[in-house]
Amino acid sequence: MSQFDTTAPYYAAYRPGIPKEAIELLAQRVAGKEHRALLDLGSGTGQVPLALAGAMTEIDVVEQDAGMLAEADKALAGLPVTVRLHNAPAETFTPLTSYRADLVTVCRAFHWMDQDVVLSRLEDMTAPDATVAVMGDGSLWTARTAWTDALRALIQEYLGTERRAGVGKKYAAHNRPYREILAESAFGQVEEHTVAVEREWSTETVIGYLYSTSFAARPLFGERVDDFERRARALLDEHAAAGGGLIEPASFQIVLGRRG
C-alpha cells in the first residue's frame, strides 16, 4: 500500500488549491516563449497543471500513484493543450531524448522524493533557461492554532504521537531548506517567494482533507474510523462555534532555481 492508497478522491475534492500569486509568478517564467513545456513531478491530482494550462503549450504529468493519476486525467481532460500522463516515480521518469521542459514544478511532493536524484536527472530534460519550482505550504498537522492543535491531539490519541506516512510507516521529516538543496544542484541561481494565505475551513472540508492525507487516511484508523470521525466532527463544530470559524493562517512558499 502506498502512502496515498484510498486517498485520491478525497485529495481531488478537498486539497487547497494553488494561490493565484504563485501561478502568476510561474507563468511569468515562460511568458513570451513560443515553446512552453511544463513538467509537473509528483503531480497528485493535477492541481498545478490545471492552474497553469493557459500559460503552456504542452504539459507532462508525472505521478507514481495510479489512483492520483486517474484523478488528474479527469481534471485535465479537454484542455486545449497537449497533455501527457506518466505513471512513474519522479526518480525514474524518462522522456524522449529530445524532450526539454521550460518549467518544472514540484508541489507538496518534494519531501517524498530522492531530491538529489531528481535534480540531477532534470539537467538533461530541461531547456537551458528552464526554471525549477519547488512549492509547499505545510499541512493541518503542522498548523498551529487552537483548533488544529486539538485536532492533531485527537489523531495522536488514535494513531500514536508520531506522524504517520501511510499504513505501517512513520513520517521522516526533511528539515533541510529547499533553497539549500537547489543551490547545490545545476539550478543553483535560487530565489524564494512567500504568499500569505488565510484559509477558512468547515467541519466537512477538514474531514475530507484528513482522509486525503498520509497521516490521517481512513485505513489508518481501522475499525475505529467511524468513532474517530464522530469525535473529530464534534471537536471541529465546537471550535467553529466558539472561535467564529475554522481559520488557518498559512504561508505558501515557492523556491525557484535556474542555471547560473
Domains of the chain, first to last: 7-258 (3.40.50.150)
How do residues 62-77 score in pLDDT, each as one tens digit?
A: 999 999 999 999 999 9
Closest to 62 measured CA to CA, from 80, 74, 52, 49: 49
**Among 164, 253, 169, 246, which residue's Cα sits nearest to residue 203?**
246
Q: Which residues pair with 194 in a beta bridge?
A: 253
The closest of 38, 50, 43, 122 to 87, measured between CA atoms, is 43
What is the chain's pLDDT, residue by residue, as a tens digit (260 residues)? 444 557 899 999 999 999 999 999 999 999 999 999 999 999 999 999 999 999 999 999 999 999 999 999 999 999 999 999 999 999 999 999 999 999 999 999 999 899 999 999 999 999 999 999 999 998 999 999 999 999 999 999 999 999 987 666 666 666 789 999 999 999 999 999 999 999 999 999 999 999 999 899 999 999 999 999 999 999 999 999 998 899 999 999 999 999 98
Query: What does the block give as the cell for 83?
Result: 497533455
Q: What local confidence, expressed as pLDDT, does residue 6 receive?
A: 72
What distance in Å separates the CA atoms of residue 49 and residue 53, rounded to the nearest whole number?
6
Distance between CA 193 and CA 56 in Å, rounded?
22
Q: Are 82 and 59 in contact (CB under 8 A)?
A: yes
Cβ 162 vs Cβ 171: under 8 Å: yes
Residue of 95, 115, 98, 97 lying closest to 106 (CA atoms): 115
Distance CA 152, CA 167 (A): 18
Residue 260, pLDDT score: 84
**pLDDT given at position 243:** 80
| Among 107, 113, 111, 58, CA closest to 90 | 113
Q: Measure the CA–CA gap between 171 and 174, rounded to whole angstroms.
A: 9
pLDDT of amino acid 173: 62
